[in-house]
Amino acid sequence: MSISFSERGIYMGLPWYRVHTVVLNDPGRLLSVHIMHTALVSGWAGSMALYELAVFDPSDPVLDPMWRQGMFVIPFMTRLGITNSWGGWSISGGTITNPGIWSYEGVAGAHILFSGLCFLAAIWHWVYWDLERFCDERTGKPSLDLPKIFGIHFFLSGVACFGFGAFHVTGLYGPGIWVSDPYGLTGKVQSVNPAWGAEGTLGILAGLFHLSVRPPQRLYKGLRMGNIETVLSSSIAAVFFAAFVVAGTMWYGSATTPIEFFGPTRYQWDQGYFQQEIYRRVGAGLAENLSLSEAWSKIPEKFAFYDYIGNNPAKGGFFRAGSMDNGDGIAVGWLGHPIFRDKEGRELFVRRMPTFFETFPVVLVDGDGIVRADVPFRRAESKSSVEQVGVTVEFYGGELNGVSYSDPATVKKYARRAQLGEIFELDRATLKSDGVFRSSPRGWFTFGHATFALLFFFGHIWHGARTLFRDVFAGLDPDLDAQVEFGAFQKLGDPTTRRQNEARISLVNDPKRIGVEARIVNHDRIYGSIGLYIPLSFDFRDHFFRYLFSRTT
């Protein structure tokens, strides 16, 4: 193979969105960049965990849990059974003396250590890219058996998932995972029985299938299974599908996203999920001959806190940065449940604010839904104001248990606060909170993953179309043996659009020569990616890209 360049030299640059062309036909460096990507992801996770541990306050797991403080990676560690810190605290409260190696800091450090090892491995594979392992024994040229690699990945992923479930989740060699009740009150780390059937071994079985069964020739050619861009397209599809799934399980709630770690969902507020259960428990207490005060006092403060609109992830705007504590403040204590009554002794209920309202009229209704009192916008036109109806309020449970108020100004104050659910004392001074609601990590996770899933969906369509219709987009038959001059025409192959006095590259595929000959006709700059459109041999790639990223004089 011969490559001849002008003595004057030219510069060819790749646009930023085509830099991955350099690993298009290079298995060694393709592996290198993937290892480096793993290093970046693992390093970010470990570093982010250490940052969160530095700012996290574990002193009040009930009213100031991790999701109120905006923690993002700590909840995922805790979900998998990590509950202790080398700082001597536990996520459930209290102090500990022997947290063990696999504490929050231990897991974070392991990720950073793994990131460093991956970084070194990526450097090694970048330098030593031309390995015999990547060469086809029959031809002696670099080649990748992509269907076989797919089967290997499938099998190893299945083994990893099954092994994690069989050892870590079951508690056989690990702590188990976090298991909780539907109301997020009794959660703890415990062992879980694995699924030993087909559903638990599907990944292993699928991997063995793809390792032992070759794809039909028509399917192989039809889906361009020999093209690395097909792998890119299908990988992007797997990623965006997974992102859509986890966005749904996070936003709508599931056993994999406990409310102890990520906060309640918006639908639990919309449907009165916690309110109904609280009323049911109070009713059960009254049926046991408890007084109203005793029945409400049995409601856990943690349970009442869930029934507060400030913990609704949909109340925080997209552009309101910061944790929930930076919004309405740090919750200090539950004041108790307010019960309003008019002068005739009827119990009145404050209509709660819907999720997507910032302001809402204060309306008090009786048990039949009839409006009995309100806080009017115009006093002159009022017929059922708090003053006219003689509304009073009394608290049951909480810090104000047994305290009642008849002063209209105080009654209206608590009626407004009752719109937002259970009433809590909030400390806005410590963090200089501005009083504007913020979203929880549940909202941010959902928004981020849904957004990137959409972008990756279009990426899948883009790369899938490119690999399926590569010959159409390039204007070249992949099996073409004739001489092709790249850059000679503005429209490839159209002699009526021949460029004048511009650089062009002639790619000659001659079976008598080894590789492909490249000839620079003159000296102007050429932009674009030849390797992205025309399949080049490895011999040509090696010499051509050396030239591509260097300027000769």
85-144 tens-digit pLDDT: 999 999 988 888 899 999 999 999 999 999 999 999 999 999 998 888 888 788 877 788
CB 68 within 8 A of CB 126: no
Tell me, what's the pLDDT at 479? Answer: 64
Which three-class secondary structure string do you get for 449-462? HHHHHHHHHHHHHH
CB 520 within 8 A of CB 7: no
Q: Which residues pair with 333 in a beta bridge?
A: 425
CB 461 within 8 A of CB 345: no
240-266 tens-digit pLDDT: 999 999 999 999 999 999 999 999 999
Tell me, what's the pLDDT at 500? Answer: 60
Measured distance CA(24)–CA(27) in Å, rounded: 8
Q: Which residues contact 253 (CB under 8 A, 6 or more apart)?
A: 259, 265, 267, 268
275-288 tens-digit pLDDT: 999 999 999 999 99
In the chain the domains, ranked by start, together with CATH numbers, are 3-19+473-548 (no CATH), 25-224 (no CATH), 266-439 (3.10.680.10)
Residue ranges in the chain whose pLDDT is less than 70: 1-13, 379-380, 475-495, 499-553
The structure's pTM equals: 0.81
Q: Which amino acid is at 362?
A: V
Dihedral angle, C-alpha 60, 63, 66, 69, nearest 10 °: -100
Which is it for strands 392-396 and 404-405: parallel, antiparallel or unpaired?
antiparallel
Q: Which helix (H) or strand (E) holds 337?
A: strand 330-341
Within 272-420, residue ranges assigned H as helices are: 273-287, 292-297, 301-306, 386-389, 408-418
